[in-house]
Every structure is written in structure tokens, then in C-alpha cells.
Amino acid sequence: MTARTRDALQGSLPQLNGRLLLLCRALLCAFAIAAVVIAILLPIRSPLEAAVYGLRLSKAVVLITIAGILAFRRPRDPVAALLAITLLSWTITSSFDFGTETVLLQTLDHGRFLLFALTLLLFPDGLWQPGWTRPVAGCSVAVFLIGICEAAGLLHTRVFLPLAIACVFAGIGSLVTRFRNARTFALRQRLKWVALGLLAGVSMILAARAGLAWSGSKAMAFLWEALFQLGIMAIALGFVASLTSYRLFDAEAAISRSAGYALLTIALVATFGGAEALIENLGQLYLGSGVGSISGAMAAAVAAVLLNPLHGRITDWAEQRFQPDLATLKMELPHVASREAAKGSTRGLGAEVLPLIGAAVHATRCAMLVDDQIVSADGITLSAARLWARSQKSEVSASSGGMWCDPLFPVRLRLGTTPSGNAAWLLLGPRPDGTFYRREDTAALRSILPAIGQALTTTLAREAIDAAIASRERKFRRDLEALNARMERTEVTLREVVARGARPYLGRA
């Protein structure tokens, strides 16, 4: 079955070729030029507008750069092309105020909505999966037409925005369904990056829309504008990280950190507000008047005191919730190492801990080097690892830990010193995407090194004792065998003497 036939059966978008590719590139160039011109030539009439102009210009730079990256990195991908055109059109429409009623801008914004909805429904492989994404796409087209009619004055309704939001949320629901049905780890990681960008971006955009509707004061205008522009950039960054497969294995860390910061901010704001209200009410109750700015200062002090405990608890919760592999590694590996140290061997210790380490940090291969010899390996055959160790013996012995320039095992962590005076190393290969380990990974690995080193010392001492006992037993067996051989020769000699008779010997005596 050819690729074209398979795509037709699965209902996927074809790759961009020929005239379609030229048309797509022409549209990208036209939108990019329009975005640059509009971002640069917007008028500035006040200091507030200057600050807003800076935000919009920064957003334009980010979105145009991302569109260029998508155009060069994935030139024939229809989903990447849809997303690039969406971002460029979003750059244009979001450079104007929310209340701009120009028909051309509204039409362009409605077209951006349609492209964005289709991107959500087709991401990341251009497949209409699940099956209900096709009706949602048809509804998105209908909503787009309703928006065009409203902008042109043909319909006197205001249903476009709620219907468009519903279509966008349906597209996000299709991403959730594809994440649950994903069979490959890489696809799940790509969808996690998109989920992070969408969650952060859509939340900020909706907060900006709601804030502008509830509070139209000029003092808050900059805040709503900043939230809106940052939301657009967050969505764009999530998509580009997914489509370019940039640091796929950092998705959990980014989600964990974002959730931790969000919860910490909410907790501190709630603590500050509650403490300020409580102190002010108590002041009015007992002092008979308000305490003025003292309540705010005391509430800020309470929030500052609770900052470190809240940060630690929230960070631990976020790690256990969004990075369960690392949390499991730090909790279970010391117990596994101590259990293996109590009854196992060095090779058995490596066989137990190396798979746990590789699964937690997504290492392609792991090995344990003891006395310049690989004693255990995971993700690579023991013979291949030992061949590498023999070729790198001098470099490994002279290294001091950390990262070095070796394609097979670029990371090595010192486990301790063996009884023979040599160093023991934990060797790690690169991650599947070729990127280096993040800070959380290295911190988790360094936290478990003492447990592995202690278990390794115990197993090496036991093996040394067992080797000494085995050596003594072998020496005892050799001595016993030699004694038995001498006794057998003596018995043979006595039998020969008896057979010949003892008289000749007696006469000589």
C-alpha cells in the first residue's frame, strides 16, 4: 500500500507539493510582510500606548520567528502551514485594540479562527481522528460564515464569539482524545507540549477578554493587553515545541513547573488577601478604627513567611503529580538498592537499579563501571559495553564526572571508590531525542547516588569476602587433593613391597 493510498484511507491531508506548495509559500510571504508592516507602523500617541506597542512588537517578533521556523523546518507539512498562516494572521489582528470594528480586520480575525480550529482538529499528523472531528470542522466553517455575515452587516446577531469558543474547545477535546489513544511515547510528549501552551494561553486570553469586559479602566488596560499578548505567545510556543520535537522529554518538567508557580501565586495572593482582611477587621474591632497601611504590610509579612513552606510543598506535589517517574525513582530506588545489597551481587544490583534509572530519566542506555570493567548494562548488550570500556579505559579513569564528549555514554556520575582504589561510575547514554538531561533529572540522579554507592560498597565487600573464602576453599581442596595423591602413592608403594616380600629388604638391613 502506497503512502497516498494509506493517507486516502485514513482521511489525512496530503503533503504540500507543486502549485499548492507555491501558493502556501506566497501566502506565508504576504502575511509575513503585512505583519511586519503593521507591527512597525502602528501609531503611538501616549506613554500607555508606547508600552502596549512594545508588547505587540515583542509578540510580533516571536510569532513571525515561529512561523519562519515552521516554514523552514516542515515546508511540506500541511498542519505546520496552517499553523504558520494562523500565527501570522493572529499577529496582524492582535496588533489592534479589542474593540476595532473594521470589516477587513474582523474578516481576517474570523479566518484566523477557522485556520486555528482546523489546526487543532488535524494536529499533529493531519488525520481526521477521532471521527467526529469532520463534523466539528464543518461547524467551524459554518461559524466562520456566520462571523463574516455579522461583520458585513448581513446578520444582526452576536453569536459568533460563543460559537467560535465552543468550536475551539471541541478542537482541544480532540487533542485530549488523541492523547488518550496515542500508542507512542513521542506523540504523547508532543501533545503534552501543546496542552501546556493551550492551557496557559487560552486561560490568559479568556482572562484578558473577561477583564476588559468587567473593568474598562485605563489603569487596567495594560494588564489585560499583556495577558492577551502573552497568551498568544504561549499558544504559539507550545505548538512550535511540539512540531519541531524540541526537547520532547521536558514536557513534564515544564508542566510541573508551570502548575507549581500557578498554585504558589494563587496561594500567596489568597494568603495576602485573607490576612489583610482579617487584620483590618480585628483592628476595627479592637482599636475602633482602620489600621491603614499596617494591615497590608502585616499581610505581606505573613505571605513572605509562608513562601518557603508553600513553595516546598507545592513543588513536591507538582513533581509527584506531573513527574511520577522521578518521584518513584527517588522513593523506591534506595529501598531496591538496600535490598539487593543485603543479598545480591554487584551485577544483580546493576540489573535492578539500571532499568529504574533509564525509565525515570528516559536514557537510551545505562551501565555500571566498576574497576574499569562494565559489570551491568541496560539498553545495550554487555559485550558491546565492555568493548567500549576497553577502548575508553584511559579517558574514563582520568575523568572527574559530569558530561564528556562521547556519543555512547555522554554522562557519567561517580558512585564512589572501590576497595582496589579505582572509581565506580554510573554511565548514561543520551535521551532518544539527543538532548541533555534537565536540571530535575540530574538532581534526582545525584540524590540517589549515595544509596547506590553504599549498596555497591556492600556488594563489593561481600564479593571480596566470598572471593577470599572461595580462594581458601580452592587452596584447601588443592592441598587435600595433593595429600590424597601422596597417600595413594604411599599405598601403592606398600602394596608393591608386600607383593615382593620383605625378606630381601630385611637381609640388606
Q: 248 CB contacts (<8 Å, ≥6 apart)?
A: 186, 189, 190, 193, 433
Mark 403-424 as b/e (b = at least 16 C-beta within 10 Å).
eeebebbbbbbebbebeeeebb
> 302 or 184, which is more confident?
184
Q: Which ranges in 376-438 belong to alpha helices (H)?
A: 382-391, 393-398
Residue 36: the pLDDT is 84
Cα angle 100, 200, 220; round to 5: 45
SS3 377: strand
Residues 72 and 175 in one domain: yes
- What range does the domain containing 28 cover? 11-246
- Does the residue 69 lie in any domain? yes
Residue 47: the pLDDT is 58
Residues 456 and 351 in one domain: yes
Residue 3: the pLDDT is 45
Name the band, by pLDDT with cuts 50, 70 and 90, for residue 48.
low
Residue 138: the pLDDT is 92
> 295 or 257, which is more confident?
257
Position 385 pLDDT exceeds 80: yes
Residue for grid cell 515561529: 66
Residues 314 and 394 in one domain: no
Residues 434 and 398 in one domain: yes
Residue 6: the pLDDT is 45
Tens digit of each residue's pLDDT (9 = 90 or more) over 396-408: 555 555 555 577 8
Residue pair 191/248 in contact by the 8 Å Cβ criterion: no
Name the band, by pLDDT with cuts 50, 70 and 90, for residue 190.
confident
Among 254-258, 452-456, 469-473, 482-486, the minimum mean pLDDT is found in 254-258
Residues 121 and 235 in one domain: yes
Residue 251: the pLDDT is 65
Residues 318 and 354 in one domain: no
Position 443 pLDDT exceeds 50: yes
Residue pair 436/403 in contact by the 8 Å Cβ criterion: yes
Residue 408: the pLDDT is 81
For residue 274, the tally of other CB atoms under 10 A from its CB is 13
Residues 281 and 226 in one domain: no
Residue 366, phi then psi, degrees to nearest 5: -140, 155
SS3 105: helix
Among 211-215, 221-225, 341-345, the minimum mean pLDDT is found in 211-215
Position 504 pLDDT exceeds 80: no
Position 139 pLDDT exceeds 90: yes
Which residue, 199, 175, 311, 192, is CA-closest to 252? 192
Position 172 pLDDT exceeds 80: yes
DSSP-derived letter for residue 438 is: P
Residue 170: the pLDDT is 92
Domain count, the chain: 3
Residue 98: the pLDDT is 56
The strand ranges marked E within 35-169 are: none
Mean pLDDT of 80-103: 80
Cα torsion at 144, 145, 146, 150 (round to 10°)?
Answer: 100
CATH of the domain at 435: 3.30.450.40
Residues 202 and 310 in one domain: no
- Does the residue 483 lie in any domain? no
Mean pLDDT of 230-250: 81
Question: What is the rounded distance in angstroms from the CA atom of residue 509 to the CA atom of residue 506?
Answer: 5
Residues 22 and 164 in one domain: yes
Name the band, by pLDDT with cuts 50, 70 and 90, for residue 394.
low
SS3 247: coil
Residue 143: the pLDDT is 92
β-bridge pairing 366-370 and 423-428 = antiparallel
Residue 5: the pLDDT is 42
Percent of the chain past pLDDT 90, that is, above it, reads: 4
- Does the residue 252 lie in any domain? no
Residues 304 and 435 in one domain: no
Mean pLDDT of 175-200: 84
Mean pLDDT of all residues belonging to the chain: 79
For residue 243, the tally of other CB atoms under 10 A from its CB is 23
Residues 318 and 194 in one domain: no
Mean pLDDT of 69-87: 88
Residues 64 and 192 in one domain: yes
Residue 502: the pLDDT is 53
> 433 or 368, which is more confident?
368
Q: Is 288 left (phi over 0), alpha (psi -120 to 50) or beta?
A: left
Name the band, by pLDDT with cuts 50, 70 and 90, for residue 72.
confident
